[in-house]
Amino acid sequence: MGCMVSQLAAKFAFFPPSPPTYHLKKRDDGKLTVVSTAAPIPHADDTSLDVLLVDTKHGNKIVAFYLRNPYARLTLLYSHGNAADLGQLYDLFVQLKVNLRVNLMGYDYSGYGASTGKPSESSTYADIEAVYECLETEYGVSQEDLILYGQSVGSGPTLHLASKLPRLRGVVLHSGILSGLRVLCHVKFTFCFDIYKNINKVKKVKCPVLVIHGTEDEVVNWLHGNGLWKMARESYEPLWIKGGGHCNLELYPDYIRHLCKFIQEMENITTEKRLKKIRQSAKESKSNICSSCRTCCTMKCCRFKCPDCSNCSNCCSNCMNVSWSINCPEWCWRPSCMKGCCFLKLFPSCLGSCCCKKCSWPSCCGVTKCSLPKCGRPSCCCKGCCSCFCWQCCVGKKHSDGSRNGKQNG
């Protein structure tokens, strides 16, 4: 049932122009050129355009246009909407390349234009992964110098790739969708058979996200763009184009003006600043773990897991209170806590070493004579000059009332 609904959603998602607005022709030198009657045709001698055929892991060959800008510092990877192909987008690509001062890579999904195969959600993911690999290997573009741009359905493969690239420079979502089913009907839950679950993937993107959406979009409601902007981890100032529809946002002056501002700010973000920000974010996440344990005890109680505790917040109330010189409420009675005596150095006369043969810590038999009493427990592993650090001797057995009858002096 889920598969059938997913296929039905896919039929509503993809409308490749038929017939395609262009086809490819091989020149005498072996290079590919574009032949089109429905859109401006790039001149055959234009060295700023590369026409490529890229192989995907699904076995399809997809067409890609790479437009060079000699003044570019960044590269834009453009994923178009569901009812266009490269023949219709070439003129827009030229304008973006010039106005934004970027190199631009655009591609047709499987089944679009002169690309082989059939369009589907999984094939678009394979398509953008293949194009990104081409940018890396053929043009030396790293993710630090890459901005992903997704329009409408193109927001799906864009966020798919962006969620996998932690050092990406930026993301642009143009009339993006929360998910495929949410475009067809207003559902509040994400079903397993839904397609393009951007509502989940946008939270994984670790770079600035610019959202552009028209307030009068009748195809993808403005609420989709607003939702993506709110859920992004690092949201950039959004552009809500008043009166803008689904396919005409490029005609508004604010569109190119806001994009230029975004690109310029992304150029000013150096790789060093990005890496510093990522490390700082990771450090903050780590410092938030078990903060309650650090405040109640000088040691990190999470190192010693208590079988009665489901998490660290319950550790203080569930674990035993050891009546040594340091009363740590997090100390657990299970055998894995046996090394705690040595770790906390509760017995200065033993210099923090352990005498228990079962303990992995070095024996303290080589140090000066210990002042600790001998262990009277017959089955104790400690013999010789030093006292016992066995958990049974230190803690004692747990009674039914929750109390423990153990040695108080070690």
Point out the catalytic residue in the list 80, 174, 213, 246. Answer: 246
**Sequence-separated (6 or more) residues with CB below 8 Å from residue 79:** 107, 124, 128, 148, 149, 150, 151, 154, 155, 156, 157, 158
Point out the catalytic residue in the list 152, 163, 179, 387. Answer: 152
Distance CA 237, CA 315 (A): 43
Which residues does the chain have with pLDDT short of 50? Answer: 1-2, 290, 292-372, 383-387, 394-410
What tens digit of pLDDT does each residue of 75-132 get? Answer: 999 999 999 999 999 999 999 999 999 999 999 999 999 999 999 999 999 999 999 9
Cβ 233 vs Cβ 241: under 8 Å: no
Point out the catalytic residue in the list 108, 127, 145, 217. Answer: 217
Pairing of strands 75-79, 103-107: parallel
Q: What is the pLDDT of residue 67?
A: 97
Q: What is the pLDDT of residue 302?
A: 41
User: φ, ψ for residue 312 (rounded to 5)?
Assistant: -70, -25
Distance CA 38, CA 42 (A): 12
Distance CA 378, CA 367 (A): 25
Q: What is the pLDDT of residue 21?
A: 92
Q: What is the pLDDT of residue 305?
A: 41
- Among this protein's residues, is 399 annotated catalytic? no
- Among this protein's residues, is 246 annotated catalytic? yes
Q: What is the largest CA-CA distance in the chain?
A: 98
Cβ 312 vs Cβ 293: under 8 Å: yes
Distance CA 259, CA 99 (A): 9
Q: For CA atoms 288, 289, 294, 298, give the dihedral sign.
A: negative
The tokens describing 290, both together, are 């078990």
